[in-house]
Structure 1
Amino acid sequence: MSLRPCPSCQNSVSRQAEFCPNCGHTFKSSKNGGVGITFWGIVGAIILAVVILSFC
């Protein structure tokens, strides 16, 4: 298990941690890379288009 220093409190934190257990600082996760937001953005746009076209 490798550790990294928390940028806020300098506490040693696991590289797999999403936040510092000492101060609560959140770490940016590179696992998703914003894919979830893009997916839901597309789904929302399709639903919006279907609703708008159903009223025409």
Structure 2
Amino acid sequence: MERDWFKSSYSQGDNTDCLEVAFTGGTRLVRDSKNPSGPVLTLTVASYRDLLATLKSQ
């Protein structure tokens, strides 16, 4: 299934290490932007919010 993946607006340039995220119903998918065919982390919406909150607090 084709998904709409996006990178953060904070990502700059083509060689930036960053993650891509796709929203799918009740889950959020996360992958390495440099390895789009690699593993995908599947998170619930609540877990994704917790992850973002933790990253913002660092």
TM-score, normalised relative to structure 2:
0.26
Structure having the higher strand fraction is 2
The higher relative CO (CA closer than 8 Å, separation ≥ 6) is in 2
Structure having the higher helix fraction is 1
Larger Rg: 1
